[in-house]
Amino acid sequence: MQLTDRAIAAYLGLAIGDALGSTVEFMTPREIAAQYGTHDKLIGGGWLNLKPGHVTDDTTMSLALGNAILAQGKVEALASAHAFDAWMRAKPVDIGNTVRRNLLQFRKTGNPKAPYSDHDAGNGAAMRLLPVALATLGQTQDEVRTACRAQAHVTHNCLLSDAACECLVFMVQDALHGASKNDLLHKHAHPLVERHPEFRFRAVRQSNNPSGYVADTLQAVFQSFFDTDDFRDCLIDVVNRGGDADTTGAISGMLAGALYGLEEIPEAWLKKLNAETGRLCTTQARALIRIANPQAQRIAVQA
Ligand code: MN
Ligand code: MN
C-alpha cells in the first residue's frame, strides 16, 4: 500500500471519526443505545445540531494548522498561533475552553507559547496534530518532537499533553510506513504507559464517557484501536462509548486510517462525509507529505 494512500486515509479517518462522534458527543453509552441501538451512521445532529457529514473543531483546527504549515514550508509556532486565531475569529461550531483561553492570551501578548500548566491536560492539542505527523515524516525524533511541541504549546503547554501528542505522532508515522498494530502497541503505547501511568488502558475498566482529559481520551482510543481489527469496528466501538466522542472518534479515525489504509474506510462513510471537507483533507494530506524531507518522499515513491 502506498504511503500517500495511508496519509489520505488518516486525514479522512480523522474527519469521519469527528463527524460520526459528534452525533453522540456528551451522551452516555446507555443514552446512545436507547436512541440509536448502535450508532454507526453519519447522520449529524448531536448537541451542535450539525448537518450529516459535517465536522467540528478537531478537523477544522487540523486543517487550519495544515494550511499554516504549508504556507511556511515547516511547522512554526507563530504561524500556527495566527492560524488558530484566524480560525477562532471565523466562529467555529465548537471550541475548547483551554484553546479559547490561551488564544485570547496570544492576542494580547503575541507570544505563541502558552504558560506552562499541569491543568491544561485536555485533548485539544492531540486532536489536531495530524498535519505535524505528515509534514515531519522522515525527520529525526528530536525534530519531530520540536515540531510537535511548537503547535501544541500554542494552547496546551503541559507534560501529559506533550506525552500524548508525541506518542500519537510517532504512532501515525510508523503506521504510515507500514508498521503493524502490534509494533505500535509495543513501541509506543506501552512505553507511554510506563512513563506516565495516567494513560493505563490495560487491566482497567472499559473507558466509557471519556472526558476531554487527554489521559481519558487516549485510554478510550487505545482500548478501541488495539481491541478491534478494522477501521469500521474501531470507530463504532469508540464513539459508542460516548463522552468526548467526536474527539475520540477523530483520533481513532486518524490512527485506524493510517494503519488500515483507504480501502478499509467504508464507502457509505466516505460518501456521507461533507464533500468539501473530504476534498480539503485529501489535498492537504498529499501536500503535507510532499513537504516532508526528501527521504520520506523517496519512500513514498518506492511504496
Ligand atoms: Mn469537536
Ligand atoms: Mn470533542
Quickly state the pLDDT bin for 211 (edges 50, 70, 90): very high
pLDDT at residue 303, rounded to an integer: 47
Q: Ligand 1 center to residue 291 CA distance, Å? A: 27
pTM: 0.96
Q: Are 254 and 13 in contact (CB under 8 A)?
A: yes
Ligand 2 center to 246 CA (angstroms): 5
CA of 25 to the centre of ligand 2 (A): 7
How much is the mean pLDDT over the chain?
Answer: 96
Which residues are 122's β-sheet partners? 213
Q: How far is the CA of 296 from the centre of ligand 1 (A)?
A: 31
Q: What is the Cα 242 distance to its own chain's centre?
A: 17
**For range 32-36, the mean pLDDT:** 98
C-alpha cell at position 166: 508525541
In the reported structure, the alpha carbon of residue 57 is separated from the centroid of ligand 2 by a whole-number distance in angstroms of 8
Residue 59: band (very low, low, confident or very high) from pLDDT cuts 50, 70, 90:
very high
Residues with CB under 5 A from ligand 1 (ion): 56-58, 94, 246
Does the pLDDT of residue 127 top 50, yes or no? yes
Bridge partners of 213, per DSSP, are 122
- Please state, in angstroms and rounded to a whole number, the distance separating the CA atoms of residues 275 and 257: 18
Q: Report pLDDT for 295.
A: 54
In this predicted structure, the answer to whether residue 209 has a pLDDT above a threshold of 70 is yes
Is the pLDDT at 301 greater than 80? The verdict is no
Domains present along the chain, CATH in parentheses: 3-297 (1.10.4080.10)
Provide mean pLDDT across the span 154-180: 98
Q: Across-strand partners of 45?
A: 50
- State which residues have CB under 5 angstroms from ligand 2, the bound ion: 244, 246-247
Contact 123, 212 (CB under 8 A): yes
d(CA 153, CA 126): 11
- Give me the mean pLDDT over the 238-264 stretch: 98
